[in-house]
Amino acid sequence: MFAQPNDSPWGAVDFADILCPGVFLVYTPEHGGTMVARDMECFLSPAARRYGQRKNGFLCFEQDADEEIVFRELLDKKLWDIPARVRNKAAFEENINNALRRNHPGYWRSRENPRVLAFAGKRARSYAARYSHARPR
């Protein structure tokens, strides 16, 4: 389906976790982030896409500052579940929200505006309906 990335803006990829088809949480010797395959960018809102950087057919979000944007978008569109190893899911989600409010207030304001999210959300729901059986748990 989607090939795992071998290279990232942060160096060679040591390994990657699949968050959902086409979305990878990558680890490198020095750093990491989240990489979204070009064919999967449709689930991201226009506001979210502005924060990514392109590399080898992926839209990349750096782990220290930007990957919470992808987590929030995946959660909102029900394309990803918080991992079972996380005991306090509400606190985990609130940490994502707090990081976004602090680091990306413009993105946070845009996600609160339903008109901005309407089109992206419709496309993501269509994707989710087709591929929900393929979501890793």
Containing structural domain, residue 90:
7-132
Q: How confident is the model at residue 112 (pLDDT cuts 50, 70, 90)?
A: confident
Give tens-digit pLDDT for 68-105: 999 999 999 999 999 999 999 999 999 999 999 999 99
Does residue 1 form part of some domain? no
State residue 113's pLDDT score. 74
Q: Is residue 111 part of a domain?
A: yes
Number of domains in the chain: 1
Does residue 68 lie within any of the structural domains? Answer: yes
In DSSP notation, the chain reads --PPPSEETTEE-SEEEEEETTEEEEE-SS-EEEEEEGGGGGGS-HHHHTT-EEETTEEEEETTTTHHHHHHHHHHTTS----TT-S-HHHHHHHHHHHHHHH-HHHHHHHT-HHHHHHHHHHHHHHHHHHGGG---
Structure confidence at residue 130 as a pLDDT band (50, 70, 90): low
Q: Within 10 A of 75 (CB to CB), how many other CB atoms are there? A: 16
Question: In the predicted model, is pLDDT for residue 129 greater than 70?
Answer: no
Query: Taking the model in full, what pTM does it have?
Result: 0.81
The verdict on residue 2 lying in a domain is no
